[in-house]
Amino acid sequence: KAGVTQTPRYLIKTRGQQVTLSCSPISGHRSVSWYQQTPGQGLQFLFEYFSETQRNKGNFPGRFSGRQFSNSRSEMNVSTLELGDSALYLCASSPSAGHSAAEQYFGPGTRLTVT
Amino acid sequence: GQNIDQPTEMTATEGAIVQINCTYQTSGFNGLFWYQQHAGEAPTFLSYNVLDGLEEKGRFSSFLSRSKGYSYLLLKELQMKDSASYLCAVRSRTGANNLFFGTGTRLTVIP
């Protein structure tokens, strides 16, 4: 079974631009969560989608948004990029709606650098 | 609010045992996870505790005390490949796949 895939793996953008990142979950998984990882803050939750609906949202500004398609693939978008948005963006898929020990499987991440 | 604390760095010798502690204060609790992350790679799942006690899985064990807001990850018979960051994460409520992570403990295993 293929793992979680994320594209692109690396991205360099300029302040003020916008960016779209993509995540394909493990086949059959309906939950996709997004996290931002930085050296100082660690992993921070952005949002979670389940069956095309955003179920949970972390404490990030409205510049961060996402969506999920009927095939469970998910995208996240960051508009008006700031230098502080430079980070590793990880997505994780899970087969469940968060009721059990079902773990989240992480993708390799997209390394975003904002200059 | 949510607060999860772990030591920043630890060093241990190959073949030894190491215990990585995690304390948490969250608005709710529905499970504690441990993940391993090698440099430049994605986190991989190690263990899950939702009830008090010890869960053992090969060389790795994880303990939870909900009343104390405390967990530890125990690694036995350390190998060089165990050098990695170990992340403690709490799921604060059921029906949600958002995890609150600590900043991680970077473990270095030396010969």
Quick check: B48 and A101 CB within 8 A?
Answer: yes
pLDDT 10s digits, A1-29: 679 999 999 999 999 999 999 999 999 99
Judge whether B97 is closer than 8 Å to chain A, CB to CB: yes
Query: Between residues 50 and 79 of chain B, which touch chain A (CB distance below 8 Å)?
Result: 50
pLDDT at B66: 95
**3 state SS of A40:** coil
Residues A17 and A115 sit within 8 Å (Cβ to Cβ): no
What are A103's two structure tokens? 């773990």
Cα(B94)–Cα(B28) distance, integer angstroms: 9
Minimum-distance CB partner of B43 among A31, A56, A106? A106
pLDDT 10s digits, B63-90: 999 999 999 999 999 999 999 999 999 9
